[in-house]
A and B are shown apart, each in its own frame.
Chain A
């Protein structure tokens, strides 16, 4: 003991519990400072100081305390913070460990926890009955946005989300194992010992800070001759030392998915006062287990009776945990209300620790003789066949009203805490998530695993195995080993009930809570049934029973039983809602993991990215690529920069980075044959050293991709695709090659990133590149438009294309990517000296539009045929087959009046159309107007001195010269239909 000056709380019992008094931590709750012991939960620490009031309920703002000692807690939700950014709402006080300096705050109260204005709702509760949202907010419609939605938004939710970015980081890990065991109580530990003894790789996972499970609460179990809890810690140490075993505590198996895949969240730093900077706050484990052993235990249920929600009322097992593990008494004079034996052992432990037990009220007529004998021996009075029908006390229970079953002998017994037990619900959540089917155990009123959907086995309490020796045998068998473990406990537990107890009616007045977090009462469930909800799914949604963050761990069975009673149907026929992941709430941070900031999505940069940046480029995202968009000079806005770039390319030359263009090397003796099948064009006629613009259609005949294809040699083609299309085009080609044309001798390799592509376009392009290129005669005669050659560029083996997407004389210099920066720099320096410019994707778009070159995906949308796009010439009429040949003949694809790509010029040359603008023939027609098509591309063309546009227009090519209209919100733009070429209609410049 570190001195009497430290106040560990008036309810801390000397000599009780397993925490070390020497290690303490200071924390504040609503601003008031408290001292806890290391290993305390916020709940146990506050209880030690006699604090039971922790929050206000969701709907009625009723004072609420601590109901449980574990993750099933529905009431004691708190806000935990280290600093302004590291703050988390809705944390369960029973799970959060105290750390030095923790700032804890209560939630859902104003102005303070003790005087909460919202408690007015409790008086209005007749208006907040089940389904009240659906009924109240129906009408009038206009009130929804102004009144109802803001009200609901303000009222909904318990905590307040932090507004600052989360400064913590979160880790992710994939792992594999032979056996994953969920839960490290007696069953889980035994199964782990058994499995580990076979040499299997084992993951043993438990959500609590230490192993032991229900042994946390226990005082009377002996295993292998040791106190149960001590045995558990010894086993954990032994397992941790084995190389084939991974023991993860503070780790929740939150999801059990397909094919042995499980999601685990490990809380790494939430209990540490000053975690290291590099430590992740939480770690997501994605584990693939060959076999899963579920040892998830059971959760004690509360009793459903009037005013069963006052602070000071809690589960018997919780009181026992606080006593035996944390050394904290939950009151000085404790009442017990139970339908199950477990509460007796809690009462016995409390009594032995010096706490006065007001009475054990047991709604059963004949509790077991052994328990009664022990109660007598300890001087505890037992009222069998009695019920607690009400409680009193404003912020904490002050008395319980006890009635003999049948309504006689009413008395008020003063208490400062009331511990309850309606029996235990096996935790079948993970089993249910694994798509296993449950059966109803009529005798014990519980659902148990029945048919397994995966390689999985349930052991122990979650399997309904209550007897300790049986449980141990079951766990050893599940683990597959042959080990011996012997266990002994003092009492065999029996009993339990589900549904409403005495004093949960009449419905007009009584609030007997079923679901604490959502304030769902027994009467709400009865009302739901009366109003026609006969399926448990409808009842759940109408009442919101089980829909809170605790997912009905305490409430589902009670709700089901009440519904079954009103429906007068057996429970299995009413059915149980399916449990879904996550088992307990998981932070977004954990799910996001490393995928934040630069790791959110890969930012693909070309080899020349840094040089572009240094030249002042603005970038745009194209797929994952960062592409130089335009290069503003000092004082230029985007329009000015693009106009200058457009002019300079046509007057002198421009240098452009084309590296992102998709590239596929097609190699093999059947390469041409394969391309014949994948493109609409014919490729066998293309000679080595030449290239051709190709169109790829899908089987339905619509344009899928386009690009220039160069034939490097008889059996080697260099295919280019759109930047965004590269992966799907390769996938599409592989699909046909592997599955439709597997006999073709040809292979495909992505070479997009092998080559850096420096594009030089403009009248001076040849002059610019000439000094760098060896091994090819660049003259117009020897190397005309649409030529390709292997050569050396600055001494490096390269591929040179003479090709143009601007309508100018142009080259695309392909150099191995590592050489890209050096070559780009050299070419650009020479271009600059000659008056050229760098240009980006925006200028590229304008220049190609001036020439009427399409961009697949901008001017086409997946419903455009080559002919619609004005590219009918690219469809070979001689080939017997190609992908799309049949689709192109479909009646709708050959009919008159299809939308065709045409040019548009505005009457007022200074007006630039909006892409996406709809086109009509008569702007004065009544709405809805008949749309003829839409604008696909629209730019200011500096070279044409006017705006230009491309558009898909019904019967477009037959409308050339017609006047059409683009109606916008505030004006209507008059346009004339033209052909698609706005600049150099004769096309002479490209051959310059």
Chain B
């Protein structure tokens, strides 16, 4: 019997930020990319224990999971490390596609009074509370990489990014954080 493999997390040992912004790697999570047609959303919602959002740019949290609307038939569902998301979706018994992307993405948590400004160093979206309220989410661009952005509080965001782009995203966030300390 061989030993069990251990995990090596992207961004382990990364830390950064400024007097206005805190940046840290999020703990590992379970994630699925969920795809389904409108008629099957209710069954999947039941199986996952949350109402999959159907309004653009919104997210819904429930049962320890958060579902982010990414497109009209696409959600990113983030949950606990051992949240059994694939199985939960399968239990719905309706047509869908669930693909495990737990390791594809990693997440960076950005918080503090300059959090929006730091993200706006590379993200062209309007992050005012009016346009991007708490709970709003969107796949978008951050400098030269794609991210999924979720506002978790007035001054807190979760940035989901593919793992090989996470160094870059973290570095650019650190630059944005440094600048946000001078101009909010």
Contacts and interface: CB of A to CB of B under 8 A. Distances in A.
Q: Do chains A and B touch in the complex (CB under 8 A)?
A: yes
Interface of A: 169, 171-176, 201, 266, 268, 278-280, 283, 286, 288, 594-595, 598-599, 601-607, 624-625, 665, 667-669, 745-747, 749-755, 771-772, 793-796, 815-823, 826
B105 to A, nearest CB: 8
A57 B176 CA distance: 42
Interface string B94-131: 01011111111100000000000100111111101001
Contacts of A771: 2
Interface in B73-94: 73
Interface string B6-36: 1111100000001000000000100001010
B178 interface: yes
B145 interface: yes
B168 A750 contact: no
Which of B98, B121, B176 has the most CB atoms of chain A within a 10 A radius of its CB? B121
Which of B99, B121, B168 has the most CB atoms of chain A within a 10 A radius of its CB? B99
Interface string B141-169: 00111000000000000000011110110
B179 A599 contact: no
Contact of B162 (A606, A745, A753): A753
Contacts of B117: 173
A818 B171 contact: no
Which of B5, B97, B105 has the most CB atoms of chain A within a 10 A radius of its CB? B5
Nearest to B12: A818
B43 interface: no
22 contacts: A173-B117, A173-B120, A279-B182, A280-B182, A598-B167, A598-B168, A602-B145, A604-B164, A667-B35, A668-B97, A746-B97, A747-B97, A749-B33, A751-B99, A752-B104, A752-B162, A771-B2, A793-B5, A794-B3, A796-B4, A817-B163, A821-B8
B70 to A, nearest CB: 11
Interface of B: 2-10, 18, 28, 33, 35, 73, 95, 97-105, 117, 120-126, 128, 131, 143-145, 162-165, 167-168, 171-172, 175-176, 178-179, 181-183
Nearest to A826: B2
A794 B167 contact: no
B7 A625 contact: no
A74 B179 CA distance: 33
Contacts of B102: 754, 816
Contacts of A794: 2-5
Contact of B181 (A278, A668, A793): A278
Please provide the 10 A-B residue pairs with the shortest distance between their CB atoms, ordered closest to farther: A604-B164, A747-B97, A747-B35, A794-B5, A602-B168, A667-B97, A171-B179, A817-B103, A822-B5, A176-B126
A820 B6 CA distance: 9
Nearest to B144: A602
A278 B178 contact: yes
Contacts of B167: 598, 602-603, 605
Contact of A772 (B2, B8, B125): B2
A131 to B, nearest CB: 44
B5 A823 contact: yes
Given A669-B95, A750-B104, 16 more contacts: A594-B176, A599-B175, A602-B165, A604-B164, A625-B164, A667-B99, A668-B97, A749-B101, A753-B103, A753-B105, A754-B101, A771-B2, A794-B2, A795-B2, A795-B5, A821-B8
Contacts of A823: 5
A819 B5 contact: yes
A19 to B, nearest CB: 26
Nearest to B131: A176
B162 to A, nearest CB: 5
Contacts of A605: 164, 167
A173 B121 contact: yes
A754 B95 contact: no
B4 A607 contact: no
Given A602-B168, A667-B97, A747-B35, A753 B163 contact: yes
Contact of B35 (A749, A820, A822): A749
Given A750-B104, A754-B100, A795 B4 contact: yes
Nearest to A201: B128
A793 B122 CA distance: 39
Contacts of A821: 8
Nearest to A830: B2
Contacts of A278: 18, 178, 181-182
Contacts of B162: 752-753
